[in-house]
């Protein structure tokens, strides 16, 4: 498949003629609500069936890079290109490439209507992590919304395996006191482990994802001991254990979100770790990309220095934010939105979409009905392509998405086109 960035004058029908496909195939893969309403700078996935239409400025090397194939294989399949000269508009055959095998995880919070979000993504998932069971300081668990059962029933009709997420969330936020009390009591930890085992057996979960955050200082050793105790017990029962880790760039990084997360220990102990490589741009902070790729790369490079690459699962967000300008610390929080909502907003205010090439992040500005200026950052198919390439180049174990409730239909066929999903 191929990514097309819309220019002024593009229509579904002109794109279909240009790429030699049907308008219906473009609509099917992108799931646009109104194919006749397109935005300049918007990205569409084009199902080109192993062929590529040369764009102005293309080179053979760039085409080979784009499709993750060897330049020699590209020329071998297109002998006329041996001179290296290509012209915009001509068709180039793309050789099949060996796909890297990865795991793909998606988080999803149970509530009414989310089953469809899972089904839309299921062909590209290894695991669905249901978020979340709230741990109590005495080792008991508060279950998620009852629609968890509907999600699990849907999962059982697919080849996707469900994981249960356990968190130290209390009253809407991560609570260090809950975790600290748990770490101090062996009885509470044993009770928690037995409760996790009971739920996994009863409901058919394949494993657990531990997402303990905001643990503060001086808890690293206690958290490590808990993870070791949990993992040893669950491995004896043949269950999978994974952990979610804050985005660190060194082992001595300070801060309440970072200090307790020991990358090296988790990498040695659990089956895989999920790096939470997002929220640089967050709702209460200044406007910037949610996952600027330069920052993501720093985190991944540190992780690879202490964790086997095959155990590293890198997160990609499915959402962005709309900030009101000027940004005032402590003022109005930015509003979260998915890809389609961002496109609708750009369309509503007649704005084209720009792209920060350094950070692989689309954005646009607009002025609302009250005369207030806004800036919107989000993720598009160019972002996904850059992130996928990093996962492949650095031989990481997989990708995790937060979260499937933020709809982005074109991502799932794009993943299975790029990777062999385990």
Q: Could you list the beta-strand ranges (E) of 253-407.
A: 272-275, 312-317, 320-325, 335-337, 354-356, 361-367, 373-377, 398-402
User: CB 282: neighbour CB atoms within 10 A?
Assistant: 14
Structure tokens at 62: 């760039």
CB 364 within 8 A of CB 348: no
Annotation says 360 is catalytic: no
Of 247, 334, 246, 330, the residue nearest 287 (C-alpha): 334
Task: State how far the Cα of 4 lies from the Cα of 15, in Å rounded to an integer.
Answer: 9
Task: With both helix axes pointing from N to C terminus, report the angle between 220-236 and 186-203 in degrees, rounded to the nearest 10.
Answer: 40
Instruction: Tell me if 209 sits within 8 A of 128, measured CB to CB.
Output: no
Distance CA 59, CA 297 (A): 26
DSSP reduced 3-state for 309: helix
The whole-angstrom separation of Cα 167 and Cα 357 is 36
Q: Which of 213, 259, 360, 379 is catalytic?
A: 213
Q: How far apart are CA 371 and CA 375, in angstroms?
A: 13
Q: How are the residues of the chain apportioned to helix, strand and coil, as percentages rounded to the nearest 5?
A: 35, 25, 40
End-to-end CA distance of the chain: 20
CB 296 within 8 A of CB 264: no
| Cis-peptide, bond into residue 132, ω within 30° of zero | yes
DSSP one-letter code for 307: S
Enter the tokens of residue 94. 């793309």
What torsion, rounded to 10 degrees, do the Cα atoms 400, 406, 407, 413 define? -10
> Which residues belong to the active site?
213
């Amino acid at each position: 498949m191929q990514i097309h960035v819309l220019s002024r004058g593009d229509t579904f029908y002109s794109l279909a003629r240009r790429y030699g496909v049907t308008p219906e195939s473009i609509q099917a893969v992108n799931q646009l609500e109104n194919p006749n309403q397109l935005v300049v700078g918007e990205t569409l996935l084009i199902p080109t069936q192993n062929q590529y239409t040369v764009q102005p400025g293309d080179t053979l090397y760039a085409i080979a890079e784009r499709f993750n194939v060897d330049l020699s294989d590209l020329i071998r399949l297109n002998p006329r290109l041996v001179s290296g000269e290509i012209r915009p508009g001509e068709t180039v055959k793309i050789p099949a490439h060996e796909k890297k095998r990865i795991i793909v995880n998606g988080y999803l919070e149970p509530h009414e209507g989310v089953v469809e979000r899972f089904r839309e993504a299921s062909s590209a998932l290894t695991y669905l992590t249901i978020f979340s069971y709230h741990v109590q300081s005495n080792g008991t668990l508060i279950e998620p919304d009852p629609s968890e059962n509907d999600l699990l029933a849907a999962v059982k009709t697919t080849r996707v395996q469900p994981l249960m997420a356990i968190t130290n969330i209390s009253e809407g936020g991560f609570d260090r006191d809950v975790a600290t009390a748990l770490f101090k009591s062996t009885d509470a930890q044993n009770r928690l482990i037995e409760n996790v085992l009971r739920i996994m057996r009863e409901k058919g979960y394949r494993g657990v994802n531990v997402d303990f955050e905001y643990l503060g200082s001086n808890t690293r050793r206690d958290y490590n001991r808990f993870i070791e105790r949990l993992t040893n017990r669950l491995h004896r029962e043949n269950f999978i254990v994974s952990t979610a880790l804050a985005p660190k760039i060194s082992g001595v990084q300070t801060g309440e979100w970072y200090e307790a997360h020991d990358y090296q220990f988790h990498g040695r102990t659990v089956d895989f770790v999920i790096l939470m490589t997002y929220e640089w741009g967050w709702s209460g902070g200044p406007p910037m990309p949610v996952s600027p790729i330069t920052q993501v790369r720093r985190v991944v490079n540190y992780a690879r220095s202490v964790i086997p690459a095959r155990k590293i699962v890198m997160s990609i967000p499915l959402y962005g934010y709309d900030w009101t300008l000027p940004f005032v610390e402590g003022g109005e929080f930015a509003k979260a939105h998915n890809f389609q909502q961002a496109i609708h907003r750009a369309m509503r205010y007649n704005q084209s979409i720009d792209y920060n090439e350094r950070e692989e992040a689309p954005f646009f500005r607009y002025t609302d009905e009250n005369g207030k200026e806004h800036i919107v950052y989000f993720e598009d198919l160019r972002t996904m392509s850059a992130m996928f390439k990093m996962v492949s180049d650095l031989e990481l174990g997989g990708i995790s998405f937060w979260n499937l409730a933020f709809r982005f239909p074109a991502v799932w066929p794009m993943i299975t086109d790029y990777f062999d999903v385990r």
